[in-house]
């Protein structure tokens, strides 16, 4: 009996999706030979780290792209664990808006919360309606839901949309996301970040997880793939698709690297690259379905400035507790509200293992006065990322504000006329990075997401990346594993929730049902 010939698989893109795909394929050395390719000199994609001066900032590094996630990041955390890395818990504190009339937080009640009390309660009723009519209302953009149920523009811009932007990373495109995401994030106890509160919209301190030093993690991961798992890793290498058709050897790629040019043939192709880059790679070989589905992904160019300009950061965000930021109804409020006030007014804040006691916000957002549906975002990384808390030590106060590391995120280069970027002291800029981010428009969930199953597998090509569903590191990992599964790799079950999320993604993006017995395939 003839031995089955191994499939030659080319995986283009060495971010979370491509790395996950290569890992799943590499578990079957008898079935696949894997080549992992990226145009840049390191793996990880947008998961990058910056070096810092520890004497100035208290820590020697900073994750400046992907920073953390929620408890649903099961596959991500499992990859961390394999290479001796761990996520770290943090109780998330947010600060939205500037000034008493525009500010709210999840840490204590504010006058803005009082002013929108009726609309906050109405939102609870609307969430139930969306859930009941999910097949119809689920694809409707949030901005339409807000108008349909007659919410005020101010409530949407100042409270609801910032919350969604925080969890999904959707920025100025948040009004265009589907209502299904709103309902799931508020009602699903496993998917949701915030616990909906009819009295205050959000009053909990949700547990988030900050990531380990991603540059070291991805280096360890790629070293294991190359040296331990037999994956051929080609970095600083670009490719052109010479020909593409189904069948053995039907994928012919031309490689461009320092050593010169060469062509090779493969049996399967995985494009773990952004949709627009995938279309560019496919070029004239793209089918009409691929052009329609992938062409529906809209990208925006954003820039993140990492800096230590405390004066600038304090001028645009609320970073410290002030009496005027707190609701005047707190004195007659419930014991829960009194506990919130006691927590918030710990001054100075005290470092704890999983965050801070006292108002020490980590994530910030405010709307531009001229266009309140456009936002500017920021991080106080010294409050958020665990390595800074470890440097301070449990029970101690934070570093002085001028020693903090901040990030301000400016969205959509086409609207750079709104940015306050030039106000940052250039002498305090640590780094500047541009990101090519896709927008979660409602069209994305009407055209792209349901269309993926009709393009995956066509002409021996499958696609992977967070853009296939929602912008999360976890979805990128799942998409890569699903691509490998589609090619014949197995899925190793390790957690019920993780298996459920994987199986849902596989069905949605590939039109393939996952069956538990499939894990026994060889």
- Tens digit of each residue's pLDDT, the chain (522 residues): 345 689 999 999 999 999 999 999 999 999 999 999 999 999 999 999 999 999 999 999 999 988 998 889 999 999 999 999 999 999 999 999 999 889 999 998 899 998 999 999 999 999 999 988 888 887 788 999 999 999 999 999 888 888 888 777 677 778 887 888 788 777 776 666 667 788 788 767 888 999 999 999 999 999 999 999 999 999 999 999 999 999 999 999 999 998 889 999 999 999 999 999 999 999 999 999 999 999 999 998 999 999 999 999 999 999 999 999 998 765 555 677 778 888 998 989 999 999 999 999 999 998 888 888 888 899 999 999 999 999 999 999 999 999 999 999 998 899 999 999 999 999 999 999 999 988 877 788 889 999 999 999 999 999 999 999 988 899 999 999 999 999 999 999 999 999 999 999 999 999 999 987 654 443
Percent composition of the chain: helix, strand, coil (DSSP 3-state, to 5): 40, 20, 35
Report the pLDDT value the prediction gives residue 520, as an integer from 0 to 100.
43
Output the six-digit token pair for 495. 């957690």
Question: What pLDDT, on the 0 to 100 scale, is given for residue 193?
Answer: 64
Model pLDDT, residue 1 = 38
pLDDT of residue 319: 96
- Residue 444 has what pLDDT? 85
Give phi and psi for 217, each to the nearest 5: -60, -50
Where exactly are the structural domains of the chain? 7-47+213-297+442-510, 49-210+299-438
Query: Is the model's pTM score more than 0.85?
Result: yes
Q: Give the pLDDT confidence score for residue 517 in this predicted structure.
A: 61
Contact between residue 246 and residue 460 where contact means Cβ atoms under 8 Å apart: yes
* Residues 14/209, Cβ–Cβ less than 8 Å: no
| Bridge partners (DSSP) listed for residue 448 | none
The helix (H) or strand (E) run that includes residue 335 is helix 335-344
Q: Which CATH fold would you assign to the domain 7-47+213-297+442-510?
A: FAD/NAD(P)-binding domain (3.50.50)
Instruction: Give a three-class secondary structure readout of 285-302.
Output: HCCHHHHHHHCCCCEEEE
Yes or no: say if 397 and 130 are a contact pair by the CB < 8 Å rule: no
The pLDDT assigned to 190 comes to 66
C-alpha distances out from residue 129 to 192, 314, 415, Å? 18, 40, 35
């Amino acid at each position: 009996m003839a031995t089955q010939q191994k499939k030659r698989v080319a995986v283009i893109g060495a971010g979370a999706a491509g790395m996950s795909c290569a890992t799943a394929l590499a578990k079957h050395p008898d079935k696949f030979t894997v080549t992992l390719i990226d145009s840049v000199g390191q793996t990880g994609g947008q998961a990058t780290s910056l070096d810092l001066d520890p004497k100035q900032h208290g820590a020697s590094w900073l994750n400046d792209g992907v920073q953390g996630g929620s408890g649903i990041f099961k596959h991500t955390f499992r990859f961390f664990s394999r290479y001796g890395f761990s996520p770290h818990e943090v109780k998330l504190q947010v600060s939205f808006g500037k000034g008493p009339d525009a500010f709210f937080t999840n840490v204590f009640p504010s006058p803005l919360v009082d002013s929108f009390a009726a609309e906050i309660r109405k939102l609870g009723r609307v969430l139930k309606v969306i859930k009941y009519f999910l097949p119809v209302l689920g694809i409707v953009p949030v901005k339409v839901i807000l108008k349909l149920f007659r919410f005020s523009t101010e409530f949407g811009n100042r409270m609801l949309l910032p919350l969604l932007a925080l969890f999904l990373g959707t920025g100025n495109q948040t009004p265009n996301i589907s209502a299904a995401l709103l309902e799931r994030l508020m009602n699903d106890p496993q998917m949701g970040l915030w616990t909906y509160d009819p009295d205050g919209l959000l009053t909990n301190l949700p547990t988030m997880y900050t990531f380990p030093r991603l540059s070291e993690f991805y280096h360890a991961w790629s070293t294991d793939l190359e040296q331990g798992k037999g994956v051929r890793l080609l970095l600083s290498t670009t490719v052109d698709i010479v020909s593409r058709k189904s069948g053995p050897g039907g994928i012919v790629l031309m490689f461009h690297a320092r050593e010169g040019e060469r062509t090779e043939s493969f049996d399967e192709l995985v494009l773990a690259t952004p949709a627009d880059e995938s279309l560019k790679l496919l070029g004239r070989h793209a089918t009409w379905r691929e052009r329609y589905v992938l062409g529906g992904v809209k990208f925006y160019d954003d820039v993140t400035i990492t800096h230590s300009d405390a004066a600038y950061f304090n001028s645009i965000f609320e970073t410290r507790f002030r009496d005027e930021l707190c609701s005047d109804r707190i004195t007659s409020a419930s014991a829960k509200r009194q506990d919130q006030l006691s927590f918030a007014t710990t001054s100075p804040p005290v470092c704890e293992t999983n965050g801070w006691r006292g108002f020490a916000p980590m994530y910030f957002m405010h709307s531009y006065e001229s266009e309140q549906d456009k936002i500017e975002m920021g991080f106080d990384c010294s409050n958020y990322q665990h390595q800074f808390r470890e440097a301070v030590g449990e029970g101690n106060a934070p570093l002085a504000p001028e020693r903090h590391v901040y990030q301000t995120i400016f969205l959509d280069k086409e609207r750079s006329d709104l940015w306050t970027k030039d106000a940052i002291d250039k002498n305090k800029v640590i780094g500047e990075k541009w990101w090519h981010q896709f927008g979660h428009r409602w069209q994305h969930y009407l055209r792209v997401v349901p269309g993926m199953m009709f393009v995956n597998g066509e002409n021996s090509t499958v696609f992977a990346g967070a853009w296939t569903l929602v912008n999360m590191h976890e979805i990128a990992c799942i998409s890569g594993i699903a691509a490998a599964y589609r090619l014949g790799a197995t899925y190793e079950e390790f957690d019920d929730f993780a298996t459920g999320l994987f199986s849902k993604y596989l069905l949605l993006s590939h039109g393939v049902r996952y069956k538990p017995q499939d894990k026994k395939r060889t």
